[in-house]
Structure 1
Amino acid sequence: MDTNRLKLGIIFNFNPSWMGGIIYILNLIRTLNFLDEDEKPEIVLFYRADLKKFADQINYPHFTAVEWDFPDVYRGYIKSWLSGKNEFIDKIITQYTLDGLYPVHDFPVRTKSHTKLVCWYADLQHKHYPGFFRKRKLLERSMRIRFIIKNSDSLVLSSQAVKDDFRKFFRLDDRMD
């Protein structure tokens, strides 16, 4: 194994019915095949058991798939607040030496790490079409975003339109711009 190769962890923790997120991760890894061999990072995919059939489809030369038991969202947030550690990623970043971890969706507490932790948010459809969401889901999405903005240093957005929406609906400081 090349010790100079960038080592990236990818979190594959989506609802199996959300094909947008699944296809996003699969295509993200597929695009890495277009890099020159010496630029290709090592990928460690941390996946939910019910996404194994998708993880098994990945064809990439520097790839390891690790089945991971992610906490339930509500329990994960509560345990994170009580422990002061991000229960969604703490074991990953302590058990694996990674240069970066992406996409971190749940950031209930600030996390100090040598691993670059990068969040991703696909869209703000709940802001544009609130009638398609239950009140509880509207609150969950808004709170998740607020914790990401408060506790993360890096946020990837899916498009310029989503970035414009974030600026419109949330206050971003210089870290996130």
Structure 2
Amino acid sequence: MEEEFAVTKNESTRVGFLLPLGYWVGGRNYLKNLFAAIRMLPGNPIVPVIFTGKRQGNNTEDFPGVEVIRTSMLDRRSPTAILRKGILKASGHDILLQKSLQKHGVSVLSHCIHPVYLGMRQRIKIIGWIADFQHVHLPELFTLEDRNHRDLEFKQICAQSDKIILSSACAYEDLRAFAPEHIDTAELLRFVASPTPLQGAASLPELQRLYTFTGPYFLLPNQFWAHKNHRVVISALQRLKSNREPLLVLAAGSPTDYRNSSFFSDLMKYALECDVLDCFRVLGQIPFDHLFGLMQHATAFINPSRFEGWSTSVEEAKSLGKQIVLSDIPVHREQAPPGGFFFPAEDPDALAKAMKAAHDRYDGVRDSALRTAAAAHFPTRQREFGETYLRIVEDTLGRKANEL
């Protein structure tokens, strides 16, 4: 089995992370924020190590400074991947992965979103990650096959993991109901999003020229998935426009929902019917420097989602000190953004009022002051995130802090 690697020699605990092909955007952003928090821990107690395939291009460019192991066993349908699958099926153990992890000095394999079978006598500990239980709360968005698959996979993750990370108290309670026999291994780790960098972000004039808009705007940085609830925003914009109080929403995100191939086209037909295509502007998947600029200059963010595990856009609003108009769902209340305007997720009239309130409250000087205050508080929030993760790793290994 061919591998390319560069091992950093130190006394730190080496923690592995699998980055398979097609790893979703939200998961990549999560890892980027986690690695940033780990870097700030004094004494360098944890060294993250990414394991990914050789044929997966620049899929690690979002993680500068993180050690990367490229191995063909993580390339789909490669000879080594086929061999790995055959050995796993025959033995019940992922022997090739275990040997690779041991070869590179990994003590813990973290944030596993699929079950990993390293055997009962494994020397490598496993920390599973269940991002959310959306299929339990919104079963209508999943096929029966998808729901059964998720049920089975989550049960297997629980059974094979030494610890299970949940991103919110809501998800923690969902696990208690879903698999009460595994609740003792659950750990709550609320992630914190790093503030977007001012340096290198696209300027407002440049963004206005590129995306042909003028004036104040709200930013909706969600993927176009059914549970993200863009439709209620379109309905709210229709009401605002009919009241001669039009507001502009810029929507940035991928237009593809694997569960519903017609979702985006149906949504845009609805926007056309509501006559708000001038108010609801879809930018699609845009470069990060453009997104950073849009975040900084927005009147407010919007997150109308019907369900979240732990919302990245809410955390980004908190880290930037931005206003955010968000659905009144339990996890958003748990995140408690200081600049939050809540509305019932299915109520476009309430959303329209919340957007108007955020628009009327916005002031550039106040926005700058809130950004400064959020930046001053961010290191404390990030340190708590990193320290909580360090404690989870310590507990998984049965060590105390001074032993790492």
Task: Say whether residues 1:57 and 2:62 are aligned partners.
Answer: yes
If asked which structure has higher relative contact order (CA below 8 Å, sep 6+), I would say: 1
> Which residue is 1:165 aligned to?
174
Task: Say whether residues 1:118 and 2:127 are aligned partners.
Answer: yes
Q: Note if contact 2:175-2:183 (Cα within 8 Å) is conserved in structure 1.
A: no
Return the alpha-carbon distance in structure 2 between the equivalents of residues 58 and 127 of structure 1.
32
Return the alpha-carbon distance in structure 2 between the equivalents of residues 56 and 100 of structure 1.
23
Shift in Å at residue 71 of structure 1? 6.9
- Residues 42 and 109 (structure 1), Cα distance of their counterparts in 2 relative to 1, 3 Å cut: closer
> Which residue is 1:9 aligned to?
16
The one-letter amino acid of 1:99's match is S
Task: Say whether residues 1:101 and 2:105 are aligned partners.
Answer: no
- Greater mean deviation of Cα atoms: 138-147 or 167-176: 167-176
CA RMSD of aligned residues (A): 2.8
> Which residue is 1:31 aligned to?
37
The one-letter amino acid of 2:106's match is L
Shift in Å at residue 94 of structure 1? 3.7
- Residues 24 and 88 (structure 1), Cα distance of their counterparts in 2 relative to 1, 3 Å cut: farther
> Which residue is 1:151 aligned to?
160
Shift in Å at residue 173 of structure 1? 3.7
Q: Note if contact 1:88-1:106 (Cα within 8 Å) is conserved in structure 2.
A: no
Return the alpha-carbon distance in structure 2 between the equivalents of residues 101 and 55 of structure 1.
17
> Which residue is 2:390 aligned to?
none
> Which residue is 1:83 aligned to?
91
- Greater mean deviation of Cα atoms: 111-120 or 155-164: 111-120
- Greater mean deviation of Cα atoms: 46-55 or 158-167: 46-55
Shift in Å at residue 79 of structure 1? 5.2
Return the alpha-carbon distance in structure 2 between the equivalents of residues 139 and 35 of structure 1.
40
Return the alpha-carbon distance in structure 2 between the equivalents of residues 101 and 32 of structure 1.
15
Q: Note if contact 2:98-2:118 (Cα within 8 Å) is conserved in structure 1.
A: no
The counterpart of 1:47, out of the listed 34, 48, 52, is: 52
Gaps spanning 5+ residues in structure 1: where? none
Shift in Å at residue 51 of structure 1? 5.6
Q: Note if contact 1:30-1:58 (Cα within 8 Å) is conserved in structure 2.
A: no
Task: Say whether residues 1:66 and 2:73 are aligned partners.
Answer: no
Shift in Å at residue 161 of structure 1? 0.8
> Which residue is 1:132 aligned to?
141
Larger Rg: 2
Return the alpha-carbon distance in structure 2 between the equivalents of residues 173 and 83 of structure 1.
25
Return the alpha-carbon distance in structure 2 between the equivalents of residues 51 and 26 of structure 1.
18
The counterpart of 1:92, out of the listed 91, 100, 103, is: 100
Return the alpha-carbon distance in structure 2 between the equivalents of residues 115 and 43 of structure 1.
14
Residue deviations 1:97-118 (CA, integer Å, cap 9, x gap): 1121112233264623222211
Runs of 4 or more consecutive aligned structure 1 residues displaced over 6 Å after TM superposition? 75-78
Return the alpha-carbon distance in structure 2 between the equivalents of residues 135 and 65 of structure 1.
37
Seq. identity, %? 19
For normalisation by structure 1, the TM-score amounts to 0.79
